[in-house]
Amino acid sequence: MSIALTAPRLRLWPRTLGSRLFLILLAGLLVAYGLSFSALYQERMQAAKTVMLGTLTQDVGTSIAILDRLPANERAQWLDRLDRGTYRYVLGPGRAGVPELTDRGALIAATIRRAAGPAIPVTVDAVPGGGERLQAHLTLTDGAPLTIDVKPGIMPIASWLPYVLAAQLVLLVLCSWFAVRLAIRPLVNLARAVDTLDPSKEVPRLNESGPAEVRYAATAFNSMRDRIAHYLEERVQILAAISHDLQTPITRMKLRAEMADDSPEKDKLVQDLTEIERLVREGVTYAKSAHGSAEKPSRIDVGSFVESLVFDYQDTGAAVTFGRGIDAAMLTRPHALRRILTNLIDNALKFGGTAEVLIERIDDKAITIKVLDRGPGIPADQLQAVLQPFFRLEQSRNRGTGGTGLGLAIAHQLALAIGGSLTLSNRAGGGLSAEVTLR
């Protein structure tokens, strides 16, 4: 059996859309900038070659004629006057070279021969060494050898040009970044608005300004948010209406059952009617829990608030203890918080027999209220599922306990509605830990 090993793929392509657009735009601008610079450089090379060949054509013939007519003892005095940046005159045979010339060397050689004229034979050799260097050998009329030493080159670059190129490159980067940021900002705002979408809360609407496409997307999102809020409100109204309409027949049925003769069937019927009434009431409570923001926030001492709730349970004889508290004032919705903790404590008492309440500070702006029990706990793969409405575990939390499957769901919804969160986890040694985080 062979095992195929694959090397991990390098993530060279950025993950964010802004980085990708910035990279594409910057790469395109850099390529265009490079092509423009290459074209300019080639044009400069061509211009330098044209200037050099034109100078050779006009100057070489004149310089040879001057040196040929000067006395031999005065020729050395004129060499400095006749020197140019790319070629100079040397009295003597020069250095030995090779006849193989490049295309540019052949063009320079032809230009020198044409400038010297047919009366003076010229041989051109390539001088070995660094760079492209040529020497044209000729003999003056008095038999003295003359060498033209040619070093082709380009026109010098101005000292300020690199700074201009660097400034242009920085400008390209800044413009690319600004363009991408301007294009991505509406998308980021839309994504943030979608991520924090909560029709039950009073949050600012998405800004409907900017380009036509951005305005259209923002308007569509705000309209969708309004429709969702309207549907949620209709759901609560429908459930409330159903609950109101069911209360009367359920009450009549309970009265008729109470008037019947005592029997096991009567007790079962009353129990079923009570279960139906509780299901209707809990269903409406769950629907309204999504609109927990309807309650006005108020500042409370969380430690005293939780401690008083625990004392209320202790007054009824429930095994609820307050393990640890803190002095922390927080702006929250006390009725919703009371309902959350009541559901969690009732859940702990129902399945664990006892409940312990702790308060811990996470940071300057967040605290955690823990409700602990020593019950059977919840399987790890169902810790999230129990937060869904009408979900019951098959074993300990079944219909035989009288549960509706809405207690934890209501607590979860209310925690989200007041800007907090509810997290369930199993305790070491058995039991469940329900943590309500408030910010």
**Is 196 in a helix, a strand, or coil?**
coil
* pLDDT > 70 in the chain, percent: 85
Give the pLDDT confidence of 411-433 residue by residue, as tens digits. Answer: 888 888 888 889 999 988 888 99
Highest-scoring range by mean pLDDT, 46-50, 145-149, 232-236? 145-149
Q: Would the pLDDT of 126 be above 60?
A: yes
For residues 384-412, give the mean pLDDT: 67
pLDDT interval class at 86 (50, 70, 90): confident
Alpha carbons 19 and 11: distance in angstroms, whole number: 13
pLDDT interval class at 5 (50, 70, 90): very low
Reported as type and span, the H/E element at residue 132 is none
More confident residue, 374 or 54: 374
| Domain spanning 295-438, CATH architecture | 2-Layer Sandwich (3.30)
CATH topology (fold) of 196-293: Helix Hairpins (1.10.287)
pLDDT interval class at 249 (50, 70, 90): confident
**Is 434 in a helix, a strand, or coil?**
strand
pTM: 0.49
| Predicted pLDDT at 1 | 42
For residues 36-53, give the mean pLDDT: 76
**196-293 matches 295-438 in fold:** no
Domain ranges of the chain: 18-150, 196-293, 295-438
**Is 118 in a helix, a strand, or coil?**
coil
| Predicted pLDDT at 345 | 92
**Is 34 in a helix, a strand, or coil?**
helix
More confident residue, 286 or 361: 361
Alpha carbons 185 and 374: distance in angstroms, whole number: 50
- Pick from 377, 357, 360, 376: nearest CA to 368: 360
State the chain's mean pLDDT as an integer. Answer: 79
pLDDT interval class at 7 (50, 70, 90): very low
Helix locations, 3-16, DSSP H: none
Strands 355-363 and 320-324 turn out to be parallel
Alpha carbons 58 and 237: distance in angstroms, whole number: 101
Report whether 157 contacts 169 (CB < 8 A). no
134-142: long-range contacts at Cβ-Cβ below 8 A with a sequence spacing of 24 or more?
Answer: 134/97, 134/101, 134/105, 134/108, 134/109, 135/94, 135/95, 135/97, 136/109, 136/112, 137/93, 137/94, 138/64, 140/64, 140/67, 140/68, 141/68, 142/68, 142/72
Indicate the CATH number for domain 18-150.
3.30.450
